[in-house]
Structure 1
Amino acid sequence: EFAQSLCDHPPNTLIAVNRTSEQAGTRECFRTLHRKASRLEPATAFRFVEIDGEEESTEKFDLLALAGRQK
């Protein structure tokens, strides 16, 4: 029933979960975030912004290694 209730939210709703470990077990708190859509732009979950004049980072990240997986 609870999982099904998560599907009742309108499109473009972000559902956030916060999990904490307590002596009695794992506690989960949920909240919903709604974006007030502008009439001039569509509502999206993510936005990428390119910044002119900013130098490219020299740091390289190996996402597979960070996840503990081999290539």
Structure 2
Amino acid sequence: MYGTRWCPDCLRAKQIFSKHNIAFTWHDIEQDEEACAYVEKVNGGFKSVPTILFPDGSVLVEPSNAVLEEKLTGAK
């Protein structure tokens, strides 16, 4: 998960991962230049956070709670 410490959507996403006991790696784009470059690359030059990269290679950007829950649980 790529984000910033002050981002409320990043906090919300982290809470959803924790709720489901799903481990994730946190990349602070303000502290990590490579992480920032990745976020800009996948978001057309924008620093949109949270940007979440999944093991299957898929990416969610600023997902709603429902979209993130569906991705994490496989629910439809």
| Superposition TM-score tier, normalisation by shorter sequence | under 0.3
Structure number with higher relative contact order (C-alpha < 8 Å, ≥ 6 residues apart): 2
Scaled by the length of structure 1, the TM-score of the pair is 0.24
More helix by share: 2
Larger radius of gyration: 1
More strand by share: 1
Scaled by the length of structure 2, the TM-score of the pair is 0.23
